[in-house]
Amino acid sequence: MKIYLDGRFVPEEEAKVSVFDHGLLYGDGVFEGIRAYDGYVFKLDQHIDRLYASAHAIMIDIPLTKREMSDAILETLRVNELESSYIRPVVTRGAGDLGIDPRKCKGKPTVFVITKPWRSLFPEEVLARGLKAIVASTRNKAMDSCPPNVKSLNYLANIMAKIEANMVGADEAIMLDQNGFVAEGSADNIFIVKDGRLLTPPTVTALPGITRDTVIELARKDGLDVSEEYFGVANLFVADECFITGTAAEIAPVAEISGRRIGTGKPGPITDRLRDLFKSITGIPETGTAIYEAVAKQ
Ligand code: PXG
């Protein structure tokens, strides 16, 4: 695989950043996780907007225009001849010294884009039975210190939560916010269905997921009542259905949370319906940017 690194395409083994890079030393940077389906990059503009918003919030000035960033992403896919893939753009504050002072990062921010052919995050059999999740004891990042709605490289809390899930053989960890309300999964947003209504926590204490946005739009178009509101762990346990959403996870049903069966203990009808709707809008020009000219003209 070739990697885009600061304006050049380099082989994977040569794609190296400085040990003084603040992204590595302090998690001082921002990133995105994007998917391309059958030649179309899903919601590329929204991902670019979120990347630049995250960078703005932490005062990193990305040395590329949004257009140049999109082109770098599309070109990375082209040089690697990929049609369906996972894409990871990363921007760090760049190389500084051993102090945290960002003024020491005198060069440009570091920009790289990694792409990998896509392989499903959760195996088919896990999706068919529904995920086993736990409520992690590790709380989500605080909105007044490391805002969870900024997609920064600070993922330690998420990784700690994921370790908790791994230790008990669960597929995913659900994180609470600093007030004890349900926030999101370790790398995904969360929804519950109760009495035919769809509920998801606000994006004050969770990442404004692009899959989350897409699901809200699809559900409303399909006539469902969707509400963004805070709820607690007991609401999770007594939900009729629960699912998580993310670029990697897409829409994944949750069948069990901390030992409690959710609904029937099998993927629910609303989750299944939304999964079908989601599948129908990926890999098409209406929701994606064409990677190759030929695809665009078809
Ligand atoms: N919340 C968090 C904390 C995330 O990291 C989402 C929600 C979903 O957002 P999108 O825009 O993708 O619908 C994410 C997604 C992975 C992985 O391996 C996922 C993410 C980041 C890193 C890895 O699944 N972000």
pLDDT at 105 over 80: yes
Per-residue pLDDT at 293 exceeds 80: no
- Residue 4: strand pairing partners: 9, 113
Residue nearest to ligand 1 atom 3, measured at CA: 187
pTM: 0.97
The token pair at 297 is 């003209």
Ligand 1 neighbourhood includes 91 CB (under 6 angstroms): no
Let me know how many helices (H) and strands (E) the chain has, helices first: 9, 17
Say how far apart CA 212 and CA 200 lie, in whole Å: 9
pLDDT for 295 equals 55
| Average pLDDT for 241-264 | 98
Tokens of 67: 């257009």
Q: Please state the atom number of ligand 1 nearest to the C-alpha of residue 151.
A: 5
**How far apart are alpha carbons 10 and 2 in whole angstroms?**
5
For strands 250-257 and 260-261, give the pairing: antiparallel
**Nearest CA among 170, 161, 102 for reference residue 137:** 161
Q: How far apart are CA 225 and CA 274, in angstroms?
A: 13
Question: Has residue 281 got a pLDDT over 90?
Answer: yes
Q: Which positions are annotated as active-site residues?
A: 151
Q: Is the CB of 188 under 6 A from ligand 1?
A: yes
Q: Is the pLDDT of residue 258 over 60?
A: yes
Q: Could you tell me the fold of the domain covering 2-116?
A: D-amino Acid Aminotransferase; Chain A, domain 1 (3.30.470)
pLDDT digits (tens, 9 = 90+) for 22-43: 999 999 999 999 999 999 999 9
Ligand 1 atom with the smallest distance to the CA of 247 is 12
Residue-wise pLDDT for 38-89, tens only, equals 999 999 999 999 999 999 999 999 999 999 999 999 999 999 999 999 999 9
Atom in ligand 1 nearest the alpha carbon of residue 121:
24
| pLDDT tens by residue, 108-161 | 999 999 999 988 889 999 999 999 999 999 999 999 999 999 999 999 999 999
- Cα separation, 186 vs 170, whole angstroms: 12
pLDDT of residue 294: 61
Domain boundaries, the chain: 2-116, 124-280
Contacts of residue 256, Cβ cutoff 8 Å, sequence gap at least 6 = 130, 131, 132, 133, 262, 265
Distance CA 111, CA 101 (A): 20
Cα–Cα distance, 210 to 196 (Å, whole number) = 23
Mutate to test the pocket of ligand 1, among 160, 207, 245 (most ligand atoms within 8 A of CB): 207
Pocket test for ligand 1, best of 116, 120, 189 (most atoms within 8 A of CB): 189
**145-156 tens-digit pLDDT:** 999 999 999 999
Q: Is the pLDDT of residue 238 over 70?
A: yes
Nearest CA to ligand 1 atom 2: 187
> Does ligand 1 lie within 6 Å of residue 247's CB atom?
yes
Mutate which of 50, 247, 278, 287 to test ligand 1's pocket (most atoms within 8 Å of Cβ)?
Answer: 247
The Cβ-side half-sphere exposure at 231, using a 13 Å CA radius, reads 22
Fold classification of 124-280 (topology level) = D-amino Acid Aminotransferase; Chain A, domain 2 (3.20.10)
The tens digit of pLDDT for each residue in 168-208 reads 999 999 999 999 999 999 999 999 999 999 999 999 999 99
